[in-house]
Amino acid sequence: MNAPVAPARMNQIGAGQAGSGNALELRGITKMFGALAAISDVTLSVRPGERRAVLGSNGAGKTTLFNCITGDFLPTAGLIRFFGEDVTVFPPHERIRRGLRRTYQISSLFAGLSVIDNVYLACVGVSRNRFSLIRPRPDDALMHAANMLVDAVHLTAEKNRLVGELAYGQQRQLEIALALSGAPRFVLFDEPAAGLSPTERTDLIHILTALPNHIGYIIIEHDMDVALRVVESVTMMHNGRIFKEGRPEDIEDDPEVQELYLGGGHG
Amino acid sequence: MSVADNLQRLTGPYEQRSWLQRIPAAWWAVAVILLFMPVVANDFWLFQVMGWTFILGMIGLSLMFLAGYGGMVSLLQMTVAGVAGYMVAILGPSGANVSLGLAWWVVIPAAFLIAAIFATISGALAVRTDGIYTIMITLAIAAAFFYFTRQNYSIFNGYSGFNLVLPPKLFGVNWRDPMAFYYLSLACATLCYGAVVYISRSPFGLALQGVRDNPRRMAALGFNVTAHRVAAYALASIFASTGGILLVWQNAQIAPGTIGISAAIDVLVVAVVGGLRRPLGPFIGALIYVLLQVFSADILGLFGFSADRFKLIIGIGFLAIVLFSPDGVLALWDRWRARVDARKAAETRGAP
């Protein structure tokens, strides 16, 4: 679709600094829905700038794990630290303001707004202008940041179109732009490649690998070709528990993993 | 309803024309009619019909702001207006001896401030609920305040309320003089209307519409959804208070009846009949409501009903609007325009 983004441009996104210790630390996270444990006793730590895939079959608890990390659900038990700070009971917006970002499995955009307005809202959300009653001027700094993000996800030509009119793949790219607003330090990507064409997948890989080094992420992805090319470590989940951790090549060759996941008819 | 209701996008190709040139011709026509109405209209028309329309429109506008942009249907807006109105009567001079008789430059800011505090606290209670429960909670607060004013004599002077509440004679003008009051309420209504239009495309306004459409996503973008909703109540109180203060001056009195349950529901009717999607809607709704109220006595008389039954006509009108055009009278107008445009386009295509 487009050429890979120049790294110089991508490096302008986010000036968040990598602190000492882990970017994200989960200890004994459990989430019960009634008597059903969606995830149980998940302990996981991710270094700043580390890129990790979370794999597992449907119902393994991957998205529930994301919802606990972002604060959409409060975990039934366990502790979540974000860059050393205990954020276990923080509301979602407080975590986002500290540099956590996420995309959604099903595109969750403002369909009636233009592409640039969607990204602008995301930039406003992590700025101090959230309550501003003054309309942005053409030279507005946040608008400038929004324009840069639109370029970074290869949507420059669609900038003024309504999001509802965009092709599905373009909406997924926009999801990523929203997740990179402000100064992201750590991003959760929930199946960003789902429903994309092979060309669009290549494009997505370019976008992910071009992210500045200090931005770490966790990616949930069914497509192994995408997932294993953009990460340095892999966590396998099964029935709400961590099943195996390792480097992408080890996981790919692991017979147990192949039995459970790759051979399980998921394609 | 979606954020797209703001047809003018926030960004888009930068407009070369100034904002004055972008105002459509129809608006200039309305402006000229409103500005020169006192030349032809009599005092009753200026003071009762138009003055009341502007006041009711402003209170309806505060509901439109909350419901149309924020998705929060509040039955509280008449009460907020009533708090501001009562404060003018209590703090300023009036015929009742519980009034404090302070100067207008203390009274008016205090009225706005107290109404804003009241709206913020009530809003903080209401925003934790959704849909029908928001309506219930705001209705409960409205009812509580109504009964409180009726039973409290030390501050609110109970059942009789306050009379002889007159506007200050600023610049030597008697602002209750029909022409002066007409221009005063027209200016206030224009300011409130302009403020809502402007704010709808500010970061706060856009975010409010985002909260209406997808609160969970807004939280994931770093917005404190609850704080945004409460702030909307506070902001909407300014429009309601302006209407409330003018209402007290127009009637020269305020009593519990002014802010009763039926008045609270009238504001909802006005906003829904006019249309909740655009700031102009409540003013159209208010004009229809006031005209019906003023002239229905004659119409009802033709059919042998008593004039008190004018709410029957309003109720039937409300029912018709909700059934046939849920977005109000303005949506009917839009549909008619679209049909005319389509026919015109077909004609030009048909012509060789």
Mean pLDDT for A187-195 is: 89
The average confidence (pLDDT) of chain A is: 84
B47-63: per-residue pLDDT in tens?
A: 888 999 999 999 999 99
Chain B CB contacts of A189 below 8 Å: none
pLDDT value for A6: 43
A147-177: per-residue pLDDT in tens?
A: 989 988 888 898 888 888 888 888 988 988 9
pLDDT value for A52: 92
Considering only the beta carbons, identify the residue of A110, A133, A143 that sits closest to B204: A133
Mean pLDDT for B1-16 is: 46
Q: How far apart are CA B144 and CA B83, in angstroms?
A: 13
Contact A136 B10 (CB under 8 A): yes
**Chain B nearest C-alpha distance from A251 (Å):** 32
Q: Which of A92-101, B129-138, B183-192 has the lowest mean pLDDT?
A: B129-138
Domains of chain A in start order, with CATH, are 7-108+168-262 (3.40.50.300)
Q: Does A106 touch chain B (CB under 8 A)?
A: no
**Chain A nearest C-alpha distance from B241 (Å):** 19
Quote the DSSP letter at residue A12.
Answer: T
Q: Which of A51-65, A220-234, B311-325 has the lowest mean pLDDT?
A: B311-325
pLDDT value for B19: 67
Q: How confident is the model at residue B100 (pLDDT cuts 50, 70, 90)?
A: confident
pLDDT value for B279: 92
Q: Which comes out higher in pLDDT, residue B170 or A32?
A: A32
- Most confident listed range (A103-107, A146-150, B112-116, B263-267): B112-116
pLDDT value for A20: 52
Q: What is the CA radius of gyration of chain A?
A: 18
Q: How confident is the model at residue B17 (pLDDT cuts 50, 70, 90)?
A: low
pLDDT value for A94: 92
Q: Does B19 touch chain A (CB under 8 A)?
A: no
Interface A-B, measured as beta-carbon pairs within 8 A, has a size of 116
pLDDT value for A18: 41
Per the DSSP assignment, residues forming a β-bridge with A51 are: A217
Q: How far apart are CA A214 and CA B240, in angstroms?
A: 50
**Chain B nearest C-alpha distance from A143 (Å):** 9
Task: Give percent above pLDDT 90 in chain B.
Answer: 36
Per-residue pLDDT at B3 exceeds 60: no
B200-223: per-residue pLDDT in tens?
A: 888 999 999 888 888 888 998 989
Q: Which comes out higher in pLDDT, residue A217 or B346?
A: A217
Domains of chain B in start order, with CATH, are 41-350 (1.10.3470)
ipTM of the complex: 0.79
